[in-house]
Amino acid sequence: MTQRRQILAAAIAALFVPVHTPLSAKSGSKLAVLLAKDYTSGIDVSKYWVSEKLDGVRAFWDGSALRFRSGQAIAAPAWFVAKLPPMALDGELWLARGQFDTLSGIARKRVALDAEWRGVSYQVFELPNARGTFDRRSADLKSIVTTVGWQQLQWVAQFRVESEAALQAKLIEVVKAGGEGLVLHEAASSYVTGRSASLLKLKPVSDMDATVVSHVEGKGKYAGQMGALMLRSEDGISFKLGTGFTDEQRKNPPSVGSVVSFSYRDVTPSGKPRFASFLRVRSLP
Question: In the Cβ-directed half-sphere of 284, how many Cα atoms lie within 13 Å?
Answer: 10
Give me the catalytic one of 53, 170, 240, 272. 53
C-alpha distances in angstroms, 75 versus 9, 59, 65? 26, 12, 9
Q: Give the number of residues written for the chain.
A: 285
CA distances from 149 to 78, 155, 200, 206, 239 (A): 18, 11, 29, 36, 47
CA dist., res. 200 & res. 198, Å (int): 7
Please tell me the distance from the alpha carbon of residue 186 to that of residue 45, in angstroms, as a whole number.
9
Pairing type for strands 182-186 and 194-202 reads: antiparallel
| Phi, psi of 49, rounded to the nearest 5 degrees | -85, 145
221 labelled catalytic: no
Beta bridge partners of 57: 93
In the sheet where 66-67 sits, what is the strand order? 66-67, 57-61, 89-94, 121-126, 153-155
Q: Is the CB of residue 64 less than 8 Å from the CB of residue 73?
A: no
As a whole number of angstroms, the longest Cα–Cα distance in the chain is 68
Pairing of strands 194-202, 34-38: parallel
The string over 49-69, giving b where at least 16 C-beta atoms fall within 10 Å of a residue's C-beta and e elsewhere, is bbbbbbbbbbbbbbeeebbbb
Q: How far is CA 236 from the centre of its chain?
A: 21
Residues identified as active-site: 53
